[in-house]
Structure 1
């Protein structure tokens, strides 16, 4: 049986990855900050699917947390075959309204942790000649929307660049860019969602199904819905100045309340 490690596993897309991978018979390493919630999740998945579910409490906004997870994905005796870098969050407020400490914490989780964990996992996987890494970003990566969008744009460029560098090694890398997904993300950030049109919402389980299918096809970028594929296609040909204005208005309408 193969083993998958998922960061931010207790809610949203991370929890959907855990459910799907457990149902497919993969053992899991579940990573999050809440030990009690991790234990409940591990027990449920073990009892329902008969897989082994290890828990690792770690805060990826700290060096200690990143180092603990990096050590686990580097463990050659208990190999991790798939890494899902899903941990992330949003900050409430426009630029200069958000404390600098919160902005730096976001970059730590979205960029530094992804860099260090991907590197640790890919090195171990390359030695075995097989493995995969899924880095969860967002369609916000393609829009000029402050630190969050910039951090996710970094994840996209980083993942696709590494995927090219490791082509032929047996290690597959893919960045997942969903749109609005029904998770705890907006609630945790204190963001209102009443103004978001119903057609823009995606189901986390369907997002994961599409992502794993794209990974199996060898794609380095997954935008898991035809509606968002079309929207991102339009964004690519829209002048950046106009796009920035539209993005800013959308952020005020659909973002923090």
Structure 2
């Protein structure tokens, strides 16, 4: 069976990727800091789908712990066919008030970590002539939104280049750009449907986001924007003044 490595697999969209990939018959490697949460998810997936599940508890901002994940991605004996770079966290939009070390960690987790993990996975994928990488970005990549939007913009830009570069060798790279989604990511920031100027109609379901993105990745698309409403919103950002786009980006912290 194919094997998928999923980072940030202890909650939210990461959990949903693990469930849906396992339901399709993939063995999964669950990566996150919270071992207890990973063990609980592993038990659920084994019981429900009968696939092989590995738990790899690691803080991806710790070089030593991240090295174990990179080693797993490079394994020729246990090749990885799918990598989902999902780990991340949010910060308030008040950059000038945020702790700069928190901002540096935010940048590292959203840019440096997926870059390193992609680098670890790509050599083997290219040698085998097959593989899929999904990098979880955000519609914030297209809307000025402090350092979060800037980091996700890097993910989108690199994924577009990497997909063009490696797709002829059998490896696709897709930047997944959901909007506001019902997950712990937003709950930890105190956001729910209808709060902070975010209309209830803009909230997405994690299962839908994952299903749509896996379909787009299978089609070799470099960018996946789940839902028509967000595709239209992204299209509008190309024609509205940047100052207006920045004000829209202030919604939802």
Whether these two folds match at TM > 0.5 is yes
Tell me if 1:243 matches 2:245: yes
CA distance in 2, matches of 1:3, 1:59: 21
SS of residue in 1 equivalent to 2:169: coil
Aligned to 1:229: 231
Asked whether the 8 Å contact 2:140–2:249 carries over to 1, the reply is: no
Asked whether the 8 Å contact 1:181–1:202 carries over to 2, the reply is: yes
Tell me if 1:52 matches 2:52: yes
Asked whether the 8 Å contact 1:210–1:224 carries over to 2, the reply is: yes
The runs of at least 4 consecutive aligned structure 1 residues that moved more than 6 Å come to none
CA distance in 2, matches of 1:18, 1:79: 17
Please state how far the C-alpha of 1:245 moved relative to its aligned partner: 3.2
Asked whether the 8 Å contact 1:88–1:106 carries over to 2, the reply is: yes
Give the stretch that moved more between structures: 210-219 or 190-199: 190-199
How big is the alpha-carbon RMSD for the aligned residues of Structure 1 and Structure 2? Answer: 1.3
How does the TM-score come out when normalised to structure 2? 0.96
CA distance in 2, matches of 1:179, 1:207: 9
Asked whether the 8 Å contact 1:145–1:247 carries over to 2, the reply is: yes
Aligned to 2:72: 72
Aligned to 1:19: 19
Aligned to 1:175: 175
Structure 1's unaligned 5+ residue stretches are none
Tell me if 1:205 matches 2:207: yes
Give aligned pairs, total.
Answer: 251
Instruction: Sort the Cα spacing of 1:173 and 1:93 in 2 relative to 1 into closer, same or farther, 3 A.
Output: closer
Please state how far the C-alpha of 1:192 moved relative to its aligned partner: 6.2
Aligned to 2:28: 28
CA distance in 1, matches of 2:135, 2:66: 15
Aligned to 2:217: 215
CA distance in 1, matches of 2:110, 2:71: 19
Aligned to 2:88: 88
CA distance in 1, matches of 2:11, 2:199: 23
SS of residue in 1 equivalent to 2:238: helix
Which whole-Å deviations, capped at 9, do the CAs of 1:129-166 have from their partners, x for residues lacking one? 11110000000011111111100001000111111121
CA distance in 1, matches of 2:108, 2:191: 21
SS of residue in 2 equivalent to 1:180: coil
CA distance in 2, matches of 1:165, 1:93: 34
Asked whether the 8 Å contact 2:134–2:173 carries over to 1, the reply is: yes
SS of residue in 2 equivalent to 1:103: helix
Aligned to 1:8: 8
Asked whether the 8 Å contact 2:140–2:148 carries over to 1, the reply is: yes
